[in-house]
Amino acid sequence: MRSWPAAGGGRWVEVEPARITRWVDGFTTRHGTPDVSPQPYGLLLTAPDGATAELHAPPGAPPTPDVPGFAAAATTSRRVGLLLVRKGGVAIGVADGDTLTASKVDTRYVQGRTAAGGWSQQRFARRRDNQAKAVLDEAADLAVRLLLPEASRLTALVTGGDRRAIDTVLADRRLAPLAALRAERLLDVPEPRHAVLLAAIPAAHAVHVLVRDPDSGT
CATH number at residue 128: 3.30.420.60
Residue 115 has pLDDT above 50, yes or no: no
Cβ atoms < 10 Å from Cβ of 66 = 12
- Per the CB < 8 A criterion, the answer to whether 135 and 87 are in contact is yes
Structural domain count, the chain: 2
User: Does the residue 217 lie in any domain?
Assistant: no
Cα three-residue angle 133-181-153, rounded to 5 degrees: 110
The per-residue pLDDT of the chain, averaged, comes to 90
- Per the CB < 8 A criterion, the answer to whether 194 and 105 are in contact is yes
Residue 188 has pLDDT above 80, yes or no: yes
**Domain with 159 in it:** 79-204
The predicted model scores a pTM of 0.86
Give the mean model confidence (pLDDT) for residues 105-111: 68
Instruction: Tell me the residue type at 54.
Output: E
Q: Where are the alpha helices (DSSP H) in 54-193?
A: 67-75, 118-146, 163-170, 176-179
Is the same domain home to 98 and 65? no
- Per the CB < 8 A criterion, the answer to whether 93 and 85 are in contact is no
Is the same domain home to 84 and 158? yes
Residue 189 has pLDDT above 90, yes or no: yes
Is the same domain home to 105 and 185? yes
- pLDDT category at 95 given cuts 50, 70, 90 is very high
